[in-house]
Structure 1
Amino acid sequence: MTPEHGERYRRIAAVLGRHGLGWFAAGLGVGRHPDEDAVDAGRPTSRSARAREVRAALEELGPTFVKLGQLLSMRRDLLPPEYVAELERLQDAAEAVPWDEVRVVLEHELGAPVDELFGAFDTVPLACASLGQAHAAVLHDGTEVVVKVRRPGVVALVDVDLDIVQDLADRAARRWRAAREHDLPGLAAEFGRSLRAELDYRREAEHAERFGAAFAGDPRIRIPAVHRSTSTSRVLTLDRMRGIKVDDLAALDAQRVDRRAVIATAIDALARMIFVDGFFHADPHPGNLFVEPDGRIALIDFGMVGRLDEAVQRRLADLFVALARGDAGECAAALTALCSGPRATGPGTLRDDVARFMRTWTGRTLGAVRMTPLLLRLMVLLRRNRLRLPPDVALLVRALLIVDDIGARLEPDFDLGAALRPYAARLVRRRSSASALLRRLLRAAADAAALGVELPEHVREALARLDADGIAVHLRADELEPLVGRIERVGDRLVVGVVTAALITGVGQLLGPVPGRDRALSRSLLDAGLGAVGVLGAYLAWSRRRR
């Protein structure tokens, strides 16, 4: 442990103690607390009071812990509402770095005096945050820009803090079952990767350019251009966006802006990011959305983004289908596939919870239900069953809640669920397309082939363990029937998958040119093979739905 780490541990223990959280520090072995009664004496008694003290402690501990609190505020699937509400109040603000220090960073990073790089540069920052600050400037060609400059020394401070956060998470996992079940060390590691990426402005530049390319042909959306000649890992120069904040209703009305058109454009952009590109702006709060005089929506601040790969999109599509059908069992299975973490309840309890959740819109279509209450109830269900969303899906939930709130401010009758329904339907149709089915068939065939290769070795290992130690299995009679049925279905699908793989291989060989082959016979065999693949593929898809 370095002297910097030791001093920081002592500082953390002192701050936690001042806010009635010394019991937490003592539980983790941080600091010295010889009198256990004294430690508990200042402990807040209510959950709301504890949440307030946690927020105050994080603010006092500085930028890394403020960022940690902001990240945790997005995890409604993990934290009770009282903590989420308090952590959402955390302000990422800081005093301005003196201009002389900012100038040293600029000239060191960009390799020239500031007046050679810019036609004008405002030494008073537009905004100051814990990791950096932003200045208005003008390039020599007259382009107005915003220059973000990373705070001197912040990387060293964050590195020490991240080491400590990871160590505390590891200690918590060793001491408390809940910390293990929620994989606190994994969450700490993910936070560390995210924060270190945020400190590198090249990442944000790449994000801005990717969004710019995605919306290059859309005249309704404006993404600021990155000026690479005056950007590095510590400095980022972007076009300056001017306009009315999207939630400034008085200013929008004074300019006779069509509010409904604004929210429709914002929803269209967000839906494209989520359902088409799989790459979305994860912090679309009103301060990052501006309405320009010509009606375009300008987006800024690309430090926080989410990614939805094909596997996650597929699981989301399964969840949408299950919700739309009102099938509690299918929805429970889709949630289990999407989430991670050991369930605190059995599958029957999860299914019952999902059934109760679905009864909240009995008699109405899913699209007629307000999005925010629906998502909040879903987060309660996940917490109850100890299911943890993937980090990017948690970011997606947060983005949807923010946009739903903005839409409700602009138009009281705004319905995010109805607005997103066509895009979700397209995602489901893509999931069920012929090309998607073929990809799933090929994956099933590959899995079946791999299982055929690996199965003998696994059987030998199992037999060796049985010979050495034996095995004790405890099953209730009522558990055997569904277990046997499940094994039979898996066996059926395995056999069909192997046969399908063989047919696909045979069809591929029939498609290849072979001298002297009877063309009419080949054509008949090809048609028969394709028909068999189609039938068996349909059976695999049907059997997967009824699992």
Structure 2
Amino acid sequence: MPERLRLVLEELGPTFVKLGQLLSTRPDLLPPDYITELSKLQDAAPPVPIDAITEAIQSEFGLGPAGVFAEFDEKPVASASIGQAHGALLADGTSVIVKVRRPDAVQKVHEDLEILQNLADRADRYWERARTYNIHGLVQEFSQTLRAELDYLQEGRNAERFAENFAGRTEVSIPRIFWETTTSRILTLERVSGIRITDVNALDSAGIDRAELARTGALLMLRMIFEDGFFHADPHPGNLFVQQDGSITLIDFGMVGDIDAELQNRFIDFLIAFTRRQPDGLADALLDLSVTAGTGDRDRLRERLVSFVGDYSGKALSEIGFAHLAAQLFGIVREQHLQLPREVALIFKVLIMIEGIGVQLDPDFDLLGVLTPYARRLLKKRLSPAAMSERLLRASADTGALMMEMPARLRRILEQVDRSGIEVHLRAAELEPLVARTERIGNRVVAGLIAAALISGVGDLVAREKRWRSWEGALLSGGVTVISTLTGYLLWTSKRRRQ
């Protein structure tokens, strides 16, 4: 079945290939065999004729390739579903890569996305599982991602944002974007060379320390995710080149992840609970992260996580591997019908890819050995006085804004009440616990009153009437019998109610 799905997506065309590639990054939605098969999807397409490329450049700049570039190689370097890449030289001799969007790409993508949206709408109406997994939201997310890839201006801005984040650092470099020859249809960027990061023979020949390179690459991605909040979401070996000094050059910035401080903190909570093997912390973190947490059963989730942690007790995390642990964890996530945000799924994908590259570079590479002390540093930083002060200031600002908005919100609520009144809808199942509790309290009050009245009556009778004193023992025995019988009856009815 997984292979058949891959073949169907390939037959349906570029948009559906992209959809399959996106799904291959979502182990929270699909089992491992589907993830493995969909990961084989290649974004390749037949080359676009040079006449169409020339026409696109002419349309954007008013000149053909010869008028815009000093040299332009008509043979493409690569051809994909969205665009085609050609080598070129600028007037000053700078070697560049020119990416040209395929002439029919936008129309085809929009048509396919409309079909997918209609299918998602139908699934939402007629298939309960589609609502559980938020299929409609997934299609919208995919649409936004693919439309962003159609705009080369966005890819250029992504590259510049990475360059700003790593300014002044020598362990990573980002190709320069040439905006004079860049539009939404054409992207011109610096051509880079280097050793493919998994070419171990070339790395050894260049005298590069592969163990150190693996650690550098892992720390590079961790900084992007947990410090910058903006990370390269497709760090496969073809997008990572190693320079002679051991630094890493990143290319291809169409797929990125962008996470805010709140999501970063939630993921850090997960990471700390994960590295410390804390089932309760893991349960809370996963429910906080999930976009479908409302359907999650925390007790059942915790029970499964206790078993998950127990399976690896007594073993060092380095012996197991992050990818294996993540696969087991995602099985629990799917079982509990939880769905993670796109950015969190991308983070897991990136970490798994980095672990794979690291092991190729150094068989002893341990991602969790890098991840654990990193998580501790992040926690320490988050608890620092400066961080706490910043959070207090943010909370104060939020509280102030809420207080300012409160009168207007209350006024709107009161106006709504005046116009429509208030309707309270309760189901019998919701009232049952309340009724049972009220009945138990009432029974106890009644029993107490009867017992008190009986004791008081016997006492008064014996005290005031001498002729009843000879019956004192019998009266007290009778009173105790009545109270005991009443107590037994109340306990019996209470038990029946619980059953």
TM exceeds 0.5? Answer: yes
| Pairing 1:397–2:348 present | yes
Between the aligned partners of 1:433 and 1:375, the Cα distance in structure 2 is 30
Once the two structures are overlaid, the 10-residue window that deviates more, 195-204 or 330-339, is 330-339
Structure 1 contact 369–417 (Cα < 8 Å) conserved: no
Q: Which residue of 2 aligns with 1:410?
A: 361
**Distance in 2 separating the partners of 1:175 and 1:71:** 24
Distance of 1:164 and 1:284 partners within structure 2: 30
The aligned amino acid for 2:77 is L
- Look up the equivalent residue of 1:316 and give its one-letter code: F
For 2:8, the equivalent position in structure 1 comes to 57
How many pairs does the alignment contain? 428
Q: Is the 8 A contact 1:93 1:128 kept in 2?
A: yes
Partner of 2:74: 123
Distance 2:411 2:98 in 1: 62
Report how far residue 475 of structure 1 moved. Answer: 5.9
Indicate the SS of the match to 1:137. strand
Return closer, same or farther for 1:246/1:388 CA change in 2, 3 Å cut-off: same
Tell me the distance in 2 between the aligned counterparts of 1:293 and 1:324.
Answer: 35
- How far apart are 1:325 and its partner, in Å? 4.3
Q: Cα distance 1:470–1:206, how it changes in 2: closer, same or farther (>3 A)? A: closer
Greater radius of gyration (CA): 2
Tell me if the contact between 2:73 and 2:88 (Cα under 8 Å) persists in the aligned partners. Answer: yes
Summarize the Cα distance change of 1:114–1:326 in structure 2 as closer, same or farther, 3 Å threshold: closer
Contact 2:272 2:375 in 1 (8 A): no
2:378 equivalent to 1:420: no
1:189 corresponds to 2:140: yes
Aligned to 1:3: none
- Separation in 2, partners of 1:101, 1:301: 23
- Which one of 165, 172, 177 corresponds to residue 226 of structure 1? 177
Could you tell me whether the CA contact under 8 Å between 1:289 and 1:298 is conserved in 2?
yes
Report Cα offsets for 1:426-460 as digits up to 9, x if no partner: 32223223344345445666559659866898799
5 Å-filtered alignment, 1:469-480, equals: 472=428, 473-474=430-431
- For 1:129-152, what per-residue CA distance to the aligned partner results, in whole angstroms no more than 9, with x for missing partners? 011110111112111111100000
Give the Cα separation in 2 of the matches to 1:103 and 1:257. Answer: 42
State the alpha-carbon separation in 2 of the partners of residues 272 and 132 from structure 1: 30
Report the Cα distance in structure 2 between the residues aligned to 1:458 and 1:417, rounded to whole angstroms.
Answer: 51
Residues 95-117 of structure 1, C-alpha deviation per residue, up to 9 Å, x if partnerless? 10011110111121123232232
Match of 1:387, SS state, is coil
C-alpha distance in 2 between matches for 1:87 and 1:211: 29
The letter for the 2-side match of 1:384 is E
Shift of 1:255: 2.7
Deviations 1:26-47, CA, capped at 9 Å, x for gaps? xxxxxxxxxxxxxxxxxxxxxx
Letter in structure 1 aligned against 2:44: A
**Contact kept in structure 1, 2:32 and 2:327, CA below 8 Å:** no
Counterpart secondary structure, 1:464? coil
CA 1:147–1:179: 2 relative to 1, 3 Å: same
Equivalent residue number for residue 385 of structure 1: 336
Identify if the C-alpha distance between structure 1 residues 98 and 470 changes in structure 2 by more than 3 Å, giving closer, same or farther: closer
Report the alpha carbon displacement of residue 366 of structure 1 after superposing the two structures with TM.
5.5
- Correspondent of 2:381 among 414, 430, 441: 430
Q: Distance in 1 between matches of 2:282 and 2:411?
A: 35
CA–CA separation in structure 1 for the residues paired with 2:393 and 2:164: 33
> Percent identity among equivalent residues?
45
Partner of 1:91: 42
Unpaired runs of 5+ in structure 1? 1-49, 481-547
Given that residues 343 and 386 in structure 1 are in contact (C-alpha distance below 8 angstroms), is that contact kept between their aligned partners in structure 2?
no
1:302 maps to 2:253: yes
Structure 2 Cα separation of the partners of residues 254 and 393 of structure 1:
38
Q: Distance in 2 between matches of 1:102 and 1:199?
A: 16
Distance 1:70 1:239 in 2: 27
What is the aligned partner in structure 1 of residue 297 from structure 2? 346
Determine the C-alpha separation between the residues in 1 that align with 2:431 and 2:413: 22
By how many angstroms is 1:128 displaced?
A: 0.6
Q: How far apart, in 2, do the equivalents of 1:356 and 1:257 lie?
A: 42
What's 1:490 paired with?
A: none
- Provide the residue aligned with 1:319 in structure 2: 270
Structure 2 partner of 1:35: none
CA 1:387–1:281: 2 relative to 1, 3 Å: same
Mapped partners of 1:88, 1:470: distance in 2: 49
- Does residue 251 (structure 1) correspond to residue 209 (structure 2)? The answer is no
Indicate the SS of the match to 2:118.
Answer: helix
Residue equivalent to 2:422: 464
Query: Which stretches of structure 1, 4 residues or more, deviate above 6 A after TM superposition?
Result: 451-463
Aligned residue for 2:207, secondary structure, equals coil
2: CA distance between counterparts of 1:74 and 1:475? 45
SS in 2 for 1:145: strand
Letter in 2 for 1:338: L
Secondary structure of 1:67's aligned partner: helix
Distance in 1 of aligned mates of 2:306 and 2:53:
57
Asked if the contact 1:317/1:431 (under 8 Å) is kept, the reply is no
Cα RMSD (Å): 2.6
User: 1:279·1:307 contact (CA, 8 Å) conserved in 2?
Assistant: yes
Take 1:353 and 1:463, find their aligned partners in 2: how far apart are those partners? 45
**CA shift for structure 1 position 470:** 5.5
1:326 is displaced (CA, Å) by: 3.6
Name the SS for the 1:465 alignment partner: coil
TM-score (norm 1): 0.73
Tell me the SS of whatever aligns to 1:290.
strand
CA distance in 2, matches of 1:242, 1:347: 51
**1:214: which partner in 2?**
165
Q: Distance in 1 between matches of 2:412 and 2:104?
A: 55
Question: 1:368, 1:418 within 8 Å by CA — same for their partners in 2?
Answer: no
With structure 2 as the length reference, what TM-score do the two structures score? Answer: 0.80
| 1:367 Cα offset (Å) | 6.7
Q: 1:368 to 1:443 in 2, by over 3 A?
A: farther
- Among residues 102, 111, 115, which one is paired with 1:164 in the alignment? 115
Residues 367 and 421, structure 1, Cα contact 8 Å, conserved in 2: no
Deviation at 1:87, TM superposition (A): 0.7
Q: Distance in 2 between matches of 1:310 and 1:82?
A: 34
Compared CA separation, residues 252 and 447, structure 1 to 2 (3 A): same
Q: Give the SS at the match of 2:189.
A: strand
Do the aligned partners of residues 220 and 452 (structure 1) sit closer, same or farther apart at CA in structure 2, a change above 3 Å counting?
A: closer
* Number of the residue aligned with 2:478: none
Which residue of 218, 228, 234 corresponds with 1:267? 218
Partner in structure 2 of residue 331 of structure 1: 282
Unaligned runs of 5+ in 2: 438-499
Q: Distance in 1 between matches of 2:411 and 2:182?
A: 57
Q: Secondary structure at the match of 2:423?
A: helix
